[in-house]
Amino acid sequence: MVQYVIDRPWAAPPGETFIYNTGGTHLLAVALTEVTGTPALDFAREHLFGPLGITQLDWWTDERGYFTGGMGLYLRPRDMLKIGELFLRRGMWNGSTVVSSQWVAEATAAHVSTANVVWCGPEYGYSWWVGQGQGHAFSFANGYAGQFIVVVPELDLVIVATSGWRGHTWSSAGTQWMGVMDVIVNRVLPAVDH
């Protein structure tokens, strides 16, 4: 998987055009492992999952044993909610700093236009989409076929959604993803805002 990503030709010079790239996120997980000398899962358990009390999870590995960045992380919805709450509270959890507030702000800030490849996420931060719906700014992490952590600071709100993903084609997964996000933006946000 690592060599496959490295061997791909550049589609455009870095920073010039937005292209969502899970392979690039996998390279970050590999780099983290190599730099720290610690598998990404162990690093995450020590610095993120442990402090949040997340103990039940599964994470795919590639053929070389690296945990896959950008995909294959299975969390319970209640644990996804903890990550959303962590970002809503600007890195604080139970009175302790787990992630710096500066990092949370950077990660959820718009750094590049997505050219509206996602109707509700016209900009992208550091692995967080940045958008607006029903007059409220939000950021969200998402996964294949409709997995979401949506953080809406103005409403003091975190929304988590999970969806069945097995058996989908790329097209049907996209349709389901759009349906889930439509419910979040056009039904949940207005209901909470009143």
In a shared domain, residues 31 and 85: no
Per-residue pLDDT reduced to its tens digit, 43-60: 999 999 999 999 999 999
| pLDDT greater than 90 at residue 61 | yes
In a shared domain, residues 94 and 82: yes
Give the whole-number percent of the chain exceeding pLDDT 70.
Answer: 99
Answer whether 8's CB lies under 8 Å from 1's CB.
Answer: no
Looking at the whole model, is its pTM more than 0.95? no
How far apart, in whole angstroms, are the C-alpha atoms of residue 139 and residue 131?
A: 6
- Asked if residue 47 belongs to a domain, the reply is yes
In a shared domain, residues 56 and 84: no
Q: Does residue 123 come out as left (phi exceeding 0), alpha (psi in the -120 to 50 range) or beta? A: beta
Structure confidence at residue 83 (pLDDT): 98
| pLDDT greater than 80 at residue 172 | yes
Burial environment of residue 18 by CB neighbours within 10 A (0 to 12, 13 to 18, 19 or more): middle
**What integer best gives the mean pLDDT of the chain?**
94
In a shared domain, residues 54 and 70: yes
Residue 131, H or E segment: strand 129-133
In a shared domain, residues 143 and 70: no
**Cβ-proximal residues to 179 (8 Å cutoff; 6+ apart), any chain:** 146
Listed residue (168, 162, 148, 163) closest to 185, CA to CA:
148
How far apart, in whole angstroms, are the C-alpha atoms of residue 102 and residue 160?
A: 24
In a shared domain, residues 52 and 144: no
Which residue range forms the structural domain that includes residue 91?
76-194
- Asked if residue 31 belongs to a domain, the reply is yes
Boundary of a domain, candidates 60, 75, 90: 75
The better pLDDT of the pair 152, 168 is held by 152
